[in-house]
Chains A and B, each alone.
Chain A
Amino acid sequence: MKQVVKNIILVVLIIALAVLPFIIKSGAEFAGADDQAEKAISTINSNYQPWFKSVWEPPSSEVESFLFALQAALGSGIVSFYLGYKKGQKSRNEVRQHDSY
């Protein structure tokens, strides 16, 4: 099988993995509620109080999702730049080799 086909299969599988939960658990909130781990701690040790607060918290969920999106965008920008740069470099080298023959 061609590399491209393999990669397309991988992409489809990854997307399926992200979509599947919505189908299986259609009623769930998919919240990242800190509650669960915090609750578990308070049932084990009801006296425990967090002794340090976050230095800064995003004032709203919009700001938070903006920052998360920014993080992903910065990262994927660099990843894509590298792959594109290398692809260009490779095809340029191939052209050069071709010319020298």
Chain B
Amino acid sequence: MQRAKSILLAAVYCLSVFVIFPNNVYAMHIMEGFLPMNWAAFWMIVMLPFLIMGLRSINNTIKDSPNLKMLLAMSGAFAFVLSALKIPSVTGSSSHPTGVGLGAILFGPSAMSVLGVIILIFQAVLLAHGGLTTLGANAFSMAVVGPFVSYGIYKGLQKLGVSRGICVFFAAAVGDFMTYITTSLQLALAFPSAQGGVMASAVKFMSIFAITQIPLAISEGLLTVLVFNLLSTYSSKELLALEVFSNKKHDNEVKA
């Protein structure tokens, strides 16, 4: 079964390589100053409620079970590592994964909104990567859309009875990919083409931001499965406390 899975994954990857193959594209967060002021402000305001929700959610989790603090720190650290790794992509340029899927599966999406914003501030201030004016927009794509998509996919597939590894893979990979789709849409909304409007711009930005991301999203999916496997071996008590396995069958697997 695992071998079939691996072959499938490899096939999906190769397919995505050969279907789309543009030259020298670049995919990362929106650069400092590159969103008009009104859009920058708009995304900051949209971001706020998620941040407040996230702080509350983290507070509740920690209050209920203080021993989960370390796992929370680990989830943040995982996202920290992944967003520092600029990985070469088949398009001939580099981009980085986001790493927020793991935390979203474990602690819920809004908790990752808080951790994501911390990472983005770090990168904007110290690395000139992303930016403070574009923080709202970048946070919305990486720390809201990404985690919420990951969480939704994980819970959805789990309900359908899909095996745990596959749930985690798709949650992390699609969450990562949707982050960059959101980035493209945000830029398209701010810079609609004279001809074709927002849609034409969206296609253009997606060809820059989203395609490079496909192989990286697959990498992030695989890596998240790896870490999740390790966690369910060594840290199953914490995962059970977080009700990551809602399914009885999965519970038994872990206990066994």
Whether, in the assembled complex, A98 has its beta carbon less than 8 Å from a beta carbon of chain B, the answer is no
Categorize the interface residue count of chain B. 35 or more
Whether, in the assembled complex, B181 has its beta carbon less than 8 Å from a beta carbon of chain A, the answer is no
Main secondary structure of the interface of A (DSSP, over half): helix
- Chain A residues whose C-beta falls within 8 Å of the C-beta of B187 in the assembled complex: 37, 40-41
Whether, in the assembled complex, A83 has its beta carbon less than 8 Å from a beta carbon of chain B, the answer is yes
Q: Which of A3-57 contact B (CB under 8 A)?
A: 3, 5-7, 9-11, 13-14, 17-18, 20-22, 24-25, 28-38, 40-41, 44-45, 48, 50-57
Which of A52, A76, A89 has the most B CB atoms < 10 Å from its CB? A52
A-B pair number, CB within 8 angstroms = 197
- Chain B residues whose C-beta falls within 8 Å of the C-beta of A44 in the assembled complex: 191-194, 201, 204
A9 touches B2 (CB 8 A): yes
Query: Could you name 24 residue pairs across A and B whose Cβ atoms are closer than 8 Å?
Result: A1-B1, A1-B3, A6-B2, A7-B229, A9-B2, A10-B223, A14-B226, A21-B88, A32-B28, A32-B93, A36-B26, A37-B205, A40-B187, A44-B194, A50-B32, A50-B34, A51-B36, A51-B133, A68-B86, A72-B85, A79-B77, A79-B81, A82-B77, A87-B234
- Chain B residues whose C-beta falls within 8 Å of the C-beta of A7 in the assembled complex: 226, 229-230
Whether, in the assembled complex, B61 has its beta carbon less than 8 Å from a beta carbon of chain A, the answer is no
Q: Give the residue of A13, A38, A64, A82 whose beta carbon is less than 8 angstroms from that of B71.
A: A82
19 further contact pairs, Cβ within 8 A, besides A21-B88, A69-B84, A71-B84: A6-B2, A10-B229, A13-B6, A14-B223, A20-B215, A21-B89, A30-B93, A31-B94, A32-B95, A37-B187, A44-B191, A44-B193, A50-B34, A51-B133, A53-B32, A55-B132, A75-B81, A78-B74, A79-B77
